[in-house]
Amino acid sequence: MSDSNRTYIIFSPQDWNSQHSRSRAFAIELSKMGEQTIYVNPPSSFANVLRETISTVVYPVRRENIRFNYFSKFLNIWSPPILPTFYRGSLTPGFDRWLFKKWFDRKMSEITKPIIAIIAMPFWWDGYLNDYVKDFSATVFDYQDSIGTYARSDRIHQRMSELVTELLSHVSGIIAHTESNYRNLLMYRKPSKVCLIRNAGNDIIARRLTSSDNRKQLDHPVIGTVGRISNNIDVPLLLKLADRFPASSIVNIGTVSKNAHALRTKKNIVLMPPMLQDELHSNINHFNVGILPYNLNIEGSPLRVYDLLSELLQVVSTKFADAEYFRDVIHIAESHEEFLAKTADVLSDKRNWLAAETIKDFVSHNTWKMRAEELTFFCESLLGH
């Protein structure tokens, strides 16, 4: 690893796939750039990737999992993640605060270079980081999602709101990942600077299907999407797709937290569980067309756009809040009927396709490496360089 001018500590969110993807990508790219990177609270599914690429990874652990005669040794090993539990109805995180503070105190004392803390979720502020703010050269809040999305009760929502308010009053900078986030955060500026650093994706992944496979699939096309089905998804649109294309498979890869029963009434709707990135792209490779069936009044997750575009898929989307950024590389529909018609057009005739070179160019200019460079530039500006 090359000499680094900064130490980046990334306080990752809980095990929520879309948010972890962003934090993980930043951590990996910063490490590749030669920055000393400490990544706190990765999900176990990413362990091998992180172990190989990031200088330090820590899982906070419970005290009862420690044999105290080997205390120092255990503070440096990989241990099972204990996730905070406020989203399950409790405001008490599952981390052992004392043990984490013991580890963090020692780690902080070893760092001689300026520290930039990237905080992906506000729960870290609730008793974990207040003592260390003075030691951070800059503290950046990576505002990835609205606080109400995972709040299961009014009490939790209120507490999360309080944490966000406190965070916004202390941090040096805030980064948003969509135009909607950016506009909303400008209202909370306080003394903090706000920067738009979008999500990104992988480089282009070569389509592995042979021409004979493609011909065979067109008789029974796969219309697919990726991500959690919750309030953000236009479920009536999915049901209409199933009726409009009865010979097709309407596939979703991801958690279903809303409307599972209604979706399962359609025999050609296939609900697949979340999966690791390699397996995910292996399955996306079998899609004939990608879809983004977001509700118009719910902010979509552009991470899903990049997953589909990296496979050079034609993508049909509703006109969700931040769709305009992708206007040259996805087919945007303003109504259910237009969505169904555009899907049929893409499946039936390649002359309706958007140019593959345009998609390649878009993906090549929206990589995580570029986003990490934007992040370091923003952080340098916070330090006055």
Whole-structure pTM value: 0.82
Do 160 and 229 lie in one domain? The reply is: no
Q: Considering the domain boundaries, does residue 13 fall inside one?
A: yes
Do 184 and 41 lie in one domain? The reply is: yes
Amino acid 336: pLDDT: 97
Do 373 and 341 lie in one domain? The reply is: no
Amino acid 2: pLDDT: 43
Do 142 and 247 lie in one domain? The reply is: no
Q: Which residues of 86-125 are buried (b: 16+ CB within 10 A; e: fewer)?
A: bbeeeeebbbbeebbbebbeebbeeeeeebbbbbbbbbbb
Q: Work out the end-to-end distance of the chain between its first and last CA atoms, rounded to an integer number of angstroms.
A: 23
**Nearest of 195, 132, 127, 138 to residue 163 by alpha carbon:** 127
Q: Which residues of 294-331 are buried (b: 16+ CB within 10 A; e: fewer)?
A: bbeebbbbbbbbbbbbbbbbbbbbbbbbbbeebeebbb
Scanning the chain, the segments in alpha helix (DSSP H) are 17-32, 47-53, 71-74, 97-110, 154-170, 179-186, 211-218, 235-244, 260-264, 277-284, 303-309, 336-348, 356-364, 368-382
Instruction: Give the span between the Cα atoms of 181 and 179, in whole angstroms.
Output: 5
Q: Cα Rg for the chain, rounded, in angstroms?
A: 22
Amino acid 385: pLDDT: 55
Contacts made by residues 182-191, CB under 8 angstroms, sequence distance 24+: 185/143
> Are residues 8 and 39 in contact, defined by beta-carbon separation less than 8 angstroms?
no
Do 101 and 159 lie in one domain? The reply is: yes
Q: Considering the domain boundaries, does residue 2 fall inside one?
A: no
Do 98 and 182 lie in one domain? The reply is: yes
Do 324 and 233 lie in one domain? The reply is: yes
Instruction: Give the span between the Cα atoms of 228 and 222, in whole angstroms.
Output: 18
Q: Considering the domain boundaries, does residue 247 fall inside one?
A: yes
Q: Considering the domain boundaries, does residue 20 fall inside one?
A: yes
Burial (0-12, 13-18, 19+ Cβ within 10 Å), 358: exposed
Amino acid 333: pLDDT: 97
Do 244 and 338 lie in one domain? The reply is: yes
Q: Considering the domain boundaries, does residue 205 fall inside one?
A: no
Count of the separate structural domains present in the chain: 2
Q: Considering the domain boundaries, does residue 111 fall inside one?
A: yes
Amino acid 304: pLDDT: 87
Q: Considering the domain boundaries, does residue 139 fall inside one?
A: yes
Amino acid 162: pLDDT: 80
Reading the chain (385 residues) residue by residue, the pLDDT tens digits are 345 678 999 887 755 445 677 888 898 888 888 888 888 765 554 444 444 455 565 554 444 443 433 333 433 333 433 444 333 334 344 455 666 677 778 778 888 889 999 998 887 777 678 788 888 999 999 987 655 555 556 766 677 778 888 888 889 999 998 888 888 888 877 778 999 999 998 777 766 554 444 444 567 899 999 988 888 899 999 999 999 999 999 999 988 888 889 999 999 999 998 887 778 888 999 999 999 999 987 766 788 899 999 999 999 999 998 899 999 999 999 999 999 999 999 999 999 999 999 999 999 999 999 999 999 999 999 987 5
Do 180 and 218 lie in one domain? The reply is: no
> Residue 244: which domain range?
211-364
Amino acid 375: pLDDT: 96
Do 222 and 325 lie in one domain? The reply is: yes
Element (H, E) at 331: strand 331-333
Angle at 374 between CA 371 and CA 376, to 5 degrees: 110
Instruction: Give the span between the Cα atoms of 7 and 132, in whole angstroms.
Output: 14
Do 153 and 142 lie in one domain? The reply is: yes
Do 190 and 223 lie in one domain? The reply is: no
Measured torsion, CA atoms of residues 150, 156, 160, 161, in degrees rounded to the nearest 10: 110
Tokens for 61? 């652990």
Q: Considering the domain boundaries, does residue 206 fall inside one?
A: no
CATH code, domain with 17? 3.40.50.2000
Give the strand pairing for 56-58 and 36-40.
parallel
Amino acid 327: pLDDT: 96
